Structure 1
C-alpha cells in the first residue's frame, strides 16, 4: 500500500494530464503500445495506442500471457532496470521502472512490436498487423523513455526553484518567434497538429510549417527530440 501511495504521489507531482499526454505522444511517435502500471501490473493511466493484436492474443491465451508478463515485471522490480522481453508468439514488450524516493513504485509497460531480427514464419505472417522496429529503433525507444522520465522525475525537478529558468530559455526565445514558442509548448503537451491548429485558430498547414521551422532552428530531428529538449531544460 505504501508503494501505491508513493506511485500516486509521483503521478500527482508530474501532473496526470501531462503524463497521459506525454505517454500518448511517445506511443504515437514510435507506433508502440504504452501504459503506466502498478507493481501488480494494473493500469494507472489509459493505454496509449493499444495493440488489438496483443489484446486478442491475451484473451485467448490469458494464463500463459500473464505468466510471461509477471515474470518480466518481477525481474524489473527486483533489478530496478528496464527489461526487454519477447512473448511466445514473438511479440516484444518491455517494463521500465519508475524510481521514487529510492524505490521502484510503478512501471511503464510497453510493447506490441516486432524486431527486424525476428524471422520466424509466424512473424512474417503477422508483420502486416503490428509494427516492426529495427534494433536501433528499439534501443532509441528504451533510451529516450528512460532519459525523459529521469529528467522529469519530481525528485530531480524540485532542485530547480519554481519560476527559475536555465540559461537556455533566453536562447530559445532568441531562436523562436512568439508563435513558434506557443506551438512548441503545445507540442510538448502532446497535442497533434490538428489540435494545435484548432486551439490557435490557424490552419493545420500553417502548423506544419511552424513545426518544420522549429525543428530546423533548434537542430532537432523530430517531435520526440523536442519533447526531450523541453523536459531537459525545464520548459514545461
Structure 2
C-alpha cells in the first residue's frame, strides 16, 4: 500500500553545477524538494520507487545502483540510484531519474530498498493507473518519489513558447497534487498535456493509481514557473 509520496520537478537545472550562475534561482524549488522527500523518510517505507518521465531506451524498471550522469548537461557529475556501488550491467538512468537520485543522495530519505521506473510520456491514463496499482501492491509499505514538470508554455521565452491554456492546466495540477485529489489527477487531459509539453502528466497519473484506497492527504510546497515551465512540489502522507 502507498504510505507516502513526494512530487518534485525534474529539470537538471536543480543541480547547481548544471545551472551554473543561475543556480540561486532554483534554491526555493530545491529546498521544497528536500522537504517533500522528508515526508518519505518519516513514513519508513519497505520500498521506495522513483518514477519519472523517460524516452527510449530509459523506459521501464531501473534497479538500485543504476548509474546516471549530468555530462550531457555540461556537468561532470555521476549519480547512482540509492546507496552502494553501481549495479553491473544496469542501463543508464534517464535524466528525470538521475535528478531524483541526486535529490535522494542529498537528503536523509530512508534506507529502504529502491528502484526506478521510467514512464513514457504518451502512456494512456488507464495504463498509468494500472502501473500505479501494481506499484502500491508490491510491498506492505510503498513510497513514491514522483518526478515530472508541468507545462512548458507559460511565457514567451518558455521551451514551448506561450500558450494561454498553460497557466490553467498547471493550476489544476497544483490543486490536485496539493489536495491528493486522485480523480483530479486522472482528469488531466492527455492530449492537452502533450500539447503543453507537460512531462509530469503520466507520472502524476501513476501516482493517482497508486493512491487508490490509501487515504493520504497532500500539501503543496512549491508552485512556480521560473523559466516558463511549471515546477510543482508536493508531499503526501
Scaled by the length of structure 2, the TM-score of the pair is 0.32
Higher relative contact order (CA 8 A, sep 6+): 2
Choose between structure 1 and 2: higher helix proportion: 1
Scaled by the length of structure 1, the TM-score of the pair is 0.32
Choose between structure 1 and 2: higher strand proportion: 2
